[in-house]
Amino acid sequence: MIKWTFTAVVFTLFYIKEVVISNLRVARDVLSPRPHLKPGIVGVPVGDYSDRQIWVLASLLTMTPGTISIEVDEARHMLYLHTLYTEPSADELRAQIKRDYERPVRILF
């Protein structure tokens, strides 16, 4: 119970920070004469996630400005996202999602 509570608090604070930063980044690019957008579609592996964990991950990523979940390919175990920012690379974005979201989503859901 302590591990779950600690993870919930830390992840909530992290997620609030991510939403604020993403809002500021998108707002800057909307108002800028030269936006730094590099849109693209990125596949994120979700191999051994449960259906609930995939749903939570897709929802969390969609609620973050600049990304939207567009499809889950169950045959390939991939969650496809449309993102406004694929820089520095799609691989880096996948690594960031794995690093920042995988453990909390598995523990909490």
**CATH number assigned to the domain comprising residue 87:** 3.30.70
The structural domain count of the chain equals 1
Smallest CA-to-CA distance from 26 within 56, 89, 68 is with 68
| Domain span at 73 | 2-108
Q: How far apart are CA 90 and CA 42, in angstroms?
A: 6
Predicted confidence band of residue 1 (pLDDT cuts 50, 70, 90): confident
Say how far apart CA 45 and CA 82 lie, in whole Å.
14
Q: What is the pLDDT of residue 70?
A: 97
Q: What is the pLDDT of residue 88?
A: 81
Residue of 22 and 87 predicted with greater confidence: 22
Amino acid 87: pLDDT: 82
Taking only the tens place, the pLDDT of each residue in 49-98 is 999 999 999 999 999 999 999 999 988 999 999 999 998 899 999 999 99
